[in-house]
Amino acid sequence: MTRHVVVRSTRRLPGDVLAGLAEAGAATAHEADGRRGAIGPDLRPIWPGARIAGSAVTVSCHPGDNLMIHAAVEQVRPGDVLVVTTTSPSTDGMLGDLLATSLRAHGAIGVVLDAGVRDVAELREMGFPVWSRAVSTQGTVKASPGSVNVPVVLGGAIVRPGDAVVADDDGVVVIPFDRAAAVLEASRKRIDAETAKRERLAAGELGLDIYRLRPLLESLGVTYADDGPA
């Protein structure tokens, strides 16, 4: 295998699993997967309210060069999320509305970009979700080789082609392909439990009692005292 390669990956998660993970959201999926897979807080949505989950198409680019993003478009299938990394840190605007238009035409539902994005107003008007490290007017070239659909490291997490990428206002979470269905099941159980707790909290019950935290406070040496007369 050459150093730079475009892999024609066919590994995709079932649509119902992805839809369920999108509904659950990034924070719930993260908790349901044993608090794993969270991407660092540096990647933020360029506009609020987007909520997606899709199979990852991964891209490794030279910084300041979006050639391999163009190469990746051909590998995108409906429901995919493009995950773009660079071989060294970059904040250049590697994706704008033209690339987003091309990606959407091939079925991409969003991009997670460990670099910069531009044309934010146009992307917002399009309703095309992007999570990025920066917003930058700085353009890029198309000159350097890279790879598509190979394992990449994003925010300290390994992302492999076909892994589930869940992203919303809380951030981005990556769930390995083989765990996605189990994480969805655990997410649904967590949502049911949280619904019951929310009703109890709304009725005035204390989290101290619901979570049985009083013994913990005592074991940590926390005591109660009444203040004196005013």
Which pLDDT score, from 0 to 100, does residue 229 have? 76
Are 150 and 59 in contact by the 8 Å Cβ rule? The answer is no
* CATH number of residue 96's parent domain: 3.50.30.40
| Number of structural domains the chain divides into | 1
In a domain, 198, yes or no: no
Residue 171 parent element (H or E) = strand 171-175
Q: Which two tokens stand for residue 55?
A: 């199979």
Residue 103: give the domain boundaries: 15-185
In a domain, 166, yes or no: yes
In a domain, 5, yes or no: no
In a domain, 217, yes or no: no
In a domain, 29, yes or no: yes
The DSSP secondary-structure symbol of 84 reads E
In a domain, 84, yes or no: yes
Which pLDDT score, from 0 to 100, does residue 3 have? 86
Pairwise CA distance, residues 64 & 57, whole Å? 20
Which pLDDT score, from 0 to 100, does residue 88 have? 95
Are 60 and 158 in contact by the 8 Å Cβ rule? The answer is no
Amino acid at 56: A
pLDDT in tens, the chain (230 residues): 458 999 999 999 999 999 999 999 999 999 999 999 999 899 999 999 999 999 999 999 999 999 999 999 999 999 999 999 999 999 999 999 999 999 999 999 999 999 999 999 999 999 999 999 999 999 999 999 999 999 999 988 999 999 999 999 999 999 999 999 999 999 999 999 999 999 999 999 999 999 999 999 999 999 999 987 76
In a domain, 210, yes or no: no
In a domain, 207, yes or no: no
